[in-house]
Amino acid sequence: NAGVTQTPKFQVLKTGQSMTLQCAQDMNHNSMYWYRQDPGMGLRLIYYSASEGTTDKGEVPNGYNVSRLNKREFSLRLESAAPSQTSVYFCASSVTRTRDEQYFGPGTRLTVT
């Protein structure tokens, strides 16, 4: 039981390049989330998926797209990376979207030059 896994662990992009961050969970959770964490800012929600087949914007969705591929997998895509997207990205999952604690993956450290 691996919990929440993310790939890659590290990535360096040039401005304008695109990439997809992958996330998978094996806990049979319904809801999944993408956050970014910047120094002094705390975790900010980018997008979430309350259940398979649905996605919704969070606090900072601009510049990102998501796909809930199936119940296990939730990917985050940067179409045209910008230096402002340099951050640590965490994926999380919970049983449902209401009141439940979330479990986090190990994160992806992304640098955009």
Partner 1 sequence: RKEVEQDPGPFNVPEGATVAFNCTYSNSASQSFFWYRQDCRKEPKLLMSVYSSGNEDGRFTAQLNRASQYISLLIRDSKLSDSATYLCVVNEKSSYKLIFGSGTRLLVRP
Residues engaged in binding partner 1 (CB under 8 A):
35, 40-43, 45, 48, 50, 58, 90, 97-107
DSSP 19-60: EEEEEEE-S--SEEEEEEEETTTEEEEEEEESSTT--EE-S-
Residue 21 Cβ vs partner 1, minimum distance, rounded to whole Å: 14
Q: Are 28 and 79 in contact (CB under 8 A)?
A: no
Amino acid identity of residue 112, one-letter, is V
Task: Output 81 or 105, the one with its CB closest to partner 1.
Answer: 105
Closer CB to partner 1, residue 38 or residue 79? 38
Nearest to partner 1 of 62, 98 (CB atom): 98
For residue 80, the minimal CB distance to partner 1 (Å) is 26
